[in-house]
Chain A
Amino acid sequence: MSKEILSGNEAIARGAFEAGVKVAVAYPGTPSTEILENTAHYPSIDSSWAPNEKVALEVGIGSCFGGARSLVTMKHVGVNVAADPLFTLSYTGVRGGLVLVVADDPELHSSQDEQDSRHYARAAKVPMFEPADSQEALEYTRLAFEASEQFDTPMFLRTTTRISHSKSIVETGEPVTGLPEPSLERNPPKLVMLPGNARKRHVFVEQRLKDMAEWSCSQSFNRIEERSAEVGVITAGVAYQYAREVLPDASVLKLGLVYPLPVQLVKDFASRFKTLYVVEELEQFLEDQIRALGIEVIGKDRLPICGELTPGRVREALFAEKLQPAYQTTIDLPNRPPNMCPGCPHRGVFYALNRLKAFVTGDIGCYTLGFMPPLSAMDTCVCMGASVGNASGLNKVLTGPDKQKVVGVIGDSTFLHTGINGLMDMVYNGSTATLIILDNRITAMTGRQENPASGFTLAGDPSARVDLEQLCRSVGIRSVRKVNPWNLEETRQVIKEEMEREEPSVVITEAPCILIKRDVGQRKPPLVIDPDKCTGCKACLKIGCPAIEWQPDAGERGKAYVNQLLCVGCGICDQLCKFDAYSEVTND
């Protein structure tokens, strides 16, 4: 045993190692990504990135059916993609334990919605643990594998951003030994979910939930902390920590298993208090179930459903105390939103789309930042893969010049995740839309993970690489063209021609993300602007490169200046300057 300071995600990886996990699979997604990046450090775990969450779960189900403990991780919206196998897995149950970690993102720090995964536990009838710090993240991971095998069920482990990304002190343990070796075992009544078998398994699932609800009443992960005799709190996850800050004297029922509810424990606890709070983040998930038992509580009538909780927000909601800051800012401050990196290969494409006045159905990745001014070239963004179908749908209903304006834009990882299906639809159903695949050879948005088109595995080993051009051709796209997005004129011209084409077409940009370490060769010496040549026309500011800074007080109208620490010499600003003011740094 040793003491370490670990993030929730690191602790889950450690817990998986200690639980004897053999297979860990995921598709990256904030805030879950680092779990697999950490299981990858344990040689006893086969860790891999799948092309999407559905495949990740199906791989995990396969290894679990082989008798191996299997970990599958994803962000909250990933469960939407993996929901199909999940609901049936609930019926089959497991052989080796299977734990699905789902990381929610209250406050949408890095997500497109704020959905509460606890509803999936209920809908799929899959029990769910929820840790409140890193120590519990480790312990509950181990417990979840035990419970999974004991009750023949997949288990959820739910975190939120503040649990996944907070660090706290953890005592680690020793790995379990003596787990059975994986093997083949035929068991059609349990593993072949045809109606006749599934009907019987459904009965089993209902009984399983009842058994677990009873069992969890006496388990130490659902614990009562005795303090006040007047005020009680029922809470779980990070909300427990906020409740401790705001109601330090209240007695607490802290739930470790948030589904199914330990009904008897809740009833007994609730009956003792005059005032009972339910403190939970996002939906009134616990509250609805507790109220259904006929228990009156104070909860979401005061606490917000939208956004994450904080100690201050809980205090304000429960006691209507508005906090007065001791210090104020007295002037308007410019915001500092994230921006594409200097030299990002996506920038030139959005500049071209802006100039062409395209209507861009967008997708999710670093390139979603193409929505921000001054590029302002993204008009829709729904979910991963949606750009393709959205473009086809618009293409169906528009006519004339509007029809030609529709362009879908998607990253390489997102295209392989769920974009390829949309492309088949485009060809099959005769759409004439254009799709641009931004092939930067990495899943950049989530911190540069490998994917099937990057040519490397999670462990960094070389592997087969999907040929995106051949893939598009094989589904029936006849016009597939490649461009260098750092060449603005070529990029604009090719996109324009493909927009005008009366058949579906694909443009693939070939340019790796500037932050990929193995491609450092693409970084060039920074450019400089000759202040005598710069007329202050601001043409180069239209690409929004963070390395170009405007000096309003230089010259008569102001002048542009290149920050030498940031510029990577991609050269697209140079292509916009009509006065030849840009040049490479010379050593004189």
Chain B
Amino acid sequence: MTKVTNILLAGVGGQGTLLASEVLSEVLMLAGYDVKKNEIHGMSQRGGSVSSHVRFGEQVYSPIIPEGETDILFGFELLETYRNLPLLKKGGAVITNNLKLMPPSVATGQERYPEGLEELICQQVEKSLVVDGLALAMEAGNPRTANIALLGALSTKIDVALELWEQALRKMVPEKFLEENLRAFELGRQAA
């Protein structure tokens, strides 16, 4: 069987992981790969943990990534990135946002947000990249473009022509927000 590449997106409901995974799979289809993508909707929009699986290659069977075969763990929130570390393949890469969002037990004072996650990730995973998605998004002109800035960082690790990324973004991002998203994407690429 030819090699399939597995990207796991992890974040918190409402962070825009869905749009990021939609753009990513569109790009991969445009590049001529077989693509499968899966995510669990349902209760996720209410601020719970969310993850999205994107797989591509010559032929993809399972829509979910086999355990321990994630090539790139693409995290939108530090705790969620760290939580999914056991799914990463040996020698795999991590690209993560440095954002911290409080889970309910932390927001209500029962637990504390774990300290030093960034260091824990970087110590264990040689190929890790931490991005300040919010800062890039602010620079692009809208804090809501953080997901696309992160996608820009990811795009440098995937062998697909830049035009295809732009083509997909133009198709999937509403006209009104397109310019700031293209800017965020470019800033993300530079940050990688």
Which residues of A are in contact with B by a Cβ distance under 8 Å? 3, 5, 30-31, 109-110, 133, 161-162, 165-169, 238, 241-242, 244-245, 248, 310-312, 315, 323-341, 366, 369, 372, 374, 445, 447, 538, 541, 544, 546, 548-550, 552, 558, 565
- The reply to whether A166 and B36 form a contact with Cβ atoms under 8 Å apart is yes
- The reply to whether B109 and A336 form a contact with Cβ atoms under 8 Å apart is no
Having A30-B41, A168-B35, A244-B62, one finds 19 other A-B pairs with CB under 8 Å, namely A5-B25, A31-B42, A110-B43, A133-B63, A165-B41, A167-B25, A168-B60, A168-B63, A241-B61, A311-B66, A312-B68, A328-B86, A329-B85, A333-B79, A333-B82, A334-B113, A336-B48, A366-B46, A550-B107
- The reply to whether A340 and B46 form a contact with Cβ atoms under 8 Å apart is yes
- Majority DSSP secondary structure for residues of A touching B: loop
Q: Which of chain A's residues have a CB closer than 8 A to the CB of B46?
A: 338-341, 366, 369
Q: Quick one: which of B60, B88, B89, B108 contacts A550, CB cutoff 8 A? A: B108
- The reply to whether A338 and B43 form a contact with Cβ atoms under 8 Å apart is yes
Alpha-carbon distance A30/B79, docked complex (angstroms): 27
- The reply to whether B47 and A169 form a contact with Cβ atoms under 8 Å apart is no
Alpha-carbon distance A546/B124, docked complex (angstroms): 32
- The reply to whether A310 and B66 form a contact with Cβ atoms under 8 Å apart is yes
Q: Which of chain B's residues have a CB closer than 8 A to the CB of A166?
A: 36-38, 63
Q: Determine whether B157 belongs to the interface, using a CB cutoff of 8 Å to chain A.
A: no
- The reply to whether B66 and A312 form a contact with Cβ atoms under 8 Å apart is yes
Chain A residue at minimum C-beta to C-beta distance from B29 = A5
Q: Determine whether B57 belongs to the interface, using a CB cutoff of 8 Å to chain A.
A: no
Do A327 and B47 form a contact, CB below 8 Å, given A31-B42, A550-B107? no
- The reply to whether A538 and B114 form a contact with Cβ atoms under 8 Å apart is no
Chain B residue at minimum C-beta to C-beta distance from A337 = B48
Q: Which of chain A's residues have a CB closer than 8 A to the CB of B87?
A: 325
- The reply to whether B63 and A325 form a contact with Cβ atoms under 8 Å apart is no
Alpha-carbon distance A238/B85, docked complex (angstroms): 25
Alpha-carbon distance A335/B48, docked complex (angstroms): 9
Do A242 and B48 form a contact, CB below 8 Å, given A5-B25, A165-B38, A168-B35? no
Q: Which of chain A's residues have a CB closer than 8 A to the CB of B91?
A: 326
Which of these binds chain A: B97-105, B148-156, B158-166, B175-183? B97-105
Do A552 and B66 form a contact, CB below 8 Å, given A167-B25, A329-B82, A338-B13? no
- The reply to whether A339 and B29 form a contact with Cβ atoms under 8 Å apart is no
In the complex, 10 of the A-B residue pairs with CB atoms within 8 angstroms, ordered by the A residue number, are A5-B25, A30-B42, A169-B35, A242-B61, A244-B62, A312-B68, A327-B85, A331-B114, A336-B79, A336-B104
Chain A residue at minimum C-beta to C-beta distance from B60 = A168
Min CB distance, B190 to chain A, in Å? 25
Q: Which of chain B's residues have a CB closer than 8 A to the CB of A248?
A: 1
Which residues of B are in contact with A by a Cβ distance under 8 Å? 1, 12-13, 25-26, 29, 34-49, 60-64, 66-68, 79-80, 82-83, 85-92, 102-109, 111-114, 120, 124-125, 143
- The reply to whether A333 and B83 form a contact with Cβ atoms under 8 Å apart is yes
- The reply to whether B85 and A241 form a contact with Cβ atoms under 8 Å apart is no
Do A336 and B103 form a contact, CB below 8 Å, given A311-B67, A323-B67, A552-B109? yes
- The reply to whether B68 and A326 form a contact with Cβ atoms under 8 Å apart is yes
Do A546 and B68 form a contact, CB below 8 Å, given A31-B42, A327-B86? no
Alpha-carbon distance A378/B114, docked complex (angstroms): 30
Min CB distance, B30 to chain A, in Å? 10
Do A334 and B106 form a contact, CB below 8 Å, given A245-B66, A310-B64, A327-B124? yes
- The reply to whether B41 and A31 form a contact with Cβ atoms under 8 Å apart is yes
Do A558 and B109 form a contact, CB below 8 Å, given A328-B85, A336-B49? yes
Chain A residue at minimum C-beta to C-beta distance from B33 = A169
- The reply to whether A374 and B62 form a contact with Cβ atoms under 8 Å apart is no
- The reply to whether B42 and A323 form a contact with Cβ atoms under 8 Å apart is no
- The reply to whether A310 and B35 form a contact with Cβ atoms under 8 Å apart is no
Min CB distance, A486 to chain B, in Å? 19
Q: Which of chain B's residues have a CB closer than 8 A to the CB of A341?
A: 46-47
Q: Quick one: which of B60, B86, B90 contacts A329, CB cutoff 8 A? A: B86
Q: Which of chain B's residues have a CB closer than 8 A to the CB of A110?
A: 40-43
Q: Which of chain A's residues have a CB closer than 8 A to the CB of B143?
A: 565
In the A-B complex, the 8 residue pairs with the closest CB atoms? A110-B42, A312-B67, A166-B63, A338-B48, A326-B90, A311-B66, A550-B109, A325-B86
- The reply to whether B38 and A162 form a contact with Cβ atoms under 8 Å apart is yes
Q: Which of chain B's residues have a CB closer than 8 A to the CB of A538?
A: 109
- The reply to whether A168 and B109 form a contact with Cβ atoms under 8 Å apart is no
Q: Which of chain A's residues have a CB closer than 8 A to the CB of B104?
A: 336-337, 339, 372, 544, 546
Q: Which of chain A's residues have a CB closer than 8 A to the CB of B107?
A: 541, 546, 548-550
Q: Quick one: which of B49, B62, B79 contacts A311, CB cutoff 8 A? A: B62
Alpha-carbon distance A245/B59, docked complex (angstroms): 11
Chain A residue at minimum C-beta to C-beta distance from B125 = A327
- The reply to whether A167 and B79 form a contact with Cβ atoms under 8 Å apart is no
Chain A residue at minimum C-beta to C-beta distance from B36 = A168
Chain B residue at minimum C-beta to C-beta distance from A5 = B29
- The reply to whether A334 and B105 form a contact with Cβ atoms under 8 Å apart is yes
Chain B residue at minimum C-beta to C-beta distance from A164 = B41
Chain B residue at minimum C-beta to C-beta distance from A515 = B45
Min CB distance, B34 to chain A, in Å? 6
- The reply to whether A335 and B105 form a contact with Cβ atoms under 8 Å apart is yes
Q: Which of chain B's residues have a CB closer than 8 A to the CB of A244?
A: 61-62
Identify which of B46, B47, B87, B114 gathers the most chain A CB atoms within 10 Å of its CB.
B46
Q: Which of chain A's residues have a CB closer than 8 A to the CB of B37?
A: 5, 166-168
- The reply to whether B85 and A541 form a contact with Cβ atoms under 8 Å apart is no
- The reply to whether A326 and B89 form a contact with Cβ atoms under 8 Å apart is yes
Min CB distance, B118 to chain A, in Å? 13
Alpha-carbon distance A541/B103, docked complex (angstroms): 13
Do A336 and B80 form a contact, CB below 8 Å, given A241-B63, A244-B61, A311-B64? yes
- The reply to whether B108 and A544 form a contact with Cβ atoms under 8 Å apart is yes
Identify which of A337, A340, A445, A541 gathers the most chain B CB atoms within 10 Å of its CB.
A337
